[in-house]
Amino acid sequence: MGAGAYKRRFLIQQRAPGVDGDGQPLDDWQDVIKVWGNILAPSGLGQIAGEFVAAAQEVSRVQYSIRTPYRPGLTAGMRAVGAGVVYEIRQVVHDEARREHTDLVVATGANNG
């Protein structure tokens, strides 16, 4: 897939280093890089809607796969923000054979990243 085939812009962020006064990790995010990508349909994980219980409250969580040009350095725990939606990066799968793309298995809806 050529670079022109990617239609959406995503901002990749990671948690800011450091801890607060109570020794807890900071809840701040810092920008890492902007990338072009596409949300993939079922072959790339698609929309698998699931219901689960979080904090005694039923929450809808939707999973997707975001495909970007090959991009080493992206890791689970980062997040992608696109069109006002926060996607929690759960897993990163690189195309190591051809090094053409990276698939980000992401989730949104439960805790907003």
What is the per-residue pLDDT across 14-32, written as a single tens digit (0 to 9) for each? 999 988 889 888 889 999 9
Q: What is the pLDDT of residues 37-94, one digit of tens each?
A: 999 855 444 444 444 444 445 556 688 999 999 999 999 999 999 999 999 999 999 9
In CATH terms, is domain 7-16+26-108 a member of 1.20.1510.10? no
Residue type, 74: L
pLDDT at site 45: 43
Residue type, 55: A
104 within 8 A of 69, measured Cβ to Cβ = no
pLDDT at site 49: 42
pLDDT at 107 over 60: yes
66 within 8 A of 35, measured Cβ to Cβ = no
Domain-wise residue ranges, the chain:
7-16+26-108
pLDDT at site 81: 98
